[in-house]
Chains A and B, each alone.
Chain A
Amino acid sequence: SQTIHQWPATLVQPVGSPLSLECTVEGTSNPNLYWYRQAAGRGLQLLFYSVGIGQISSEVPQNLSASRPQDRQFILSSKKLLLSDSGFYLCACWPLGPNEKLFFGSGTQLSVL
């Protein structure tokens, strides 16, 4: 079955520190991968998506970057975190196939202090 491993579940980081969130997928090949952010009390904002290794599309200008070094690995990074980067980060996967639907990891709660 298809699963997403996303870690860590919670993270507290000081302003100006770097960030690396990792997401790995099992049970599918060549999926589309996504990073969403959910700020407190707000909806989901699409940050990045990737349709293949090394292919990254950015949806909003920001302090974050994404990389896809392997087919089933998607990484969200920052060199210097800002207070406004706090939020709940969700990795999602859309497998190839006519009846496949988007499914989500369990999320990382990031607090920047």
Chain B
Amino acid sequence: GEDVEQSLFLSVREGDSSVINCTYTDSSSTYLYWYKQEPGAGLQLLTYIFSNMDMKQDQRLTVLLNKKDKHLSLRIADTQTGDSAIYFCADSGTYKYIFGTGTRLKVLA
């Protein structure tokens, strides 16, 4: 079945860039997504990319998609303490989204 994998932890210094990586197995995905979860809260959609695109930029966020390798990444420029959260990548099939395990980003002041 479909699978989405992420590394569990990432720690960066405030002001540095963060890069969160994800690999997926479903080659039929139309969109791939990044969600952010703050402590004790639900997930919020951060950004998404259409599968025929290589890159999407949205303010401090840059999404890169390597469809050949089924690799998705999220780059956060000028990372702030407010960016500390769990970041999930996801792909969507016909009826459901499949989420990765989430990457816990810790931003050090």
Contact = CB atoms under 8 A, between A and B. Distances in A.
A104 B92 CA distance: 15
B42 A101 contact: no
Interface of B: 31, 33, 35, 40-45, 48, 88, 90, 92, 95-102
Interface of A is mostly: strand
Contacts of A102: 33, 45, 90, 92, 97
B45 A107 contact: no
Contact of A90 (B43, B45, B92, B102): B43
A67 interface: no
A43 B102 CA distance: 6
Interface residues of A, number: 24
Contact of B45 (A57, A103, A106): A103
Given A44-B88, A107-B41, A109-B40, A101 B33 contact: yes
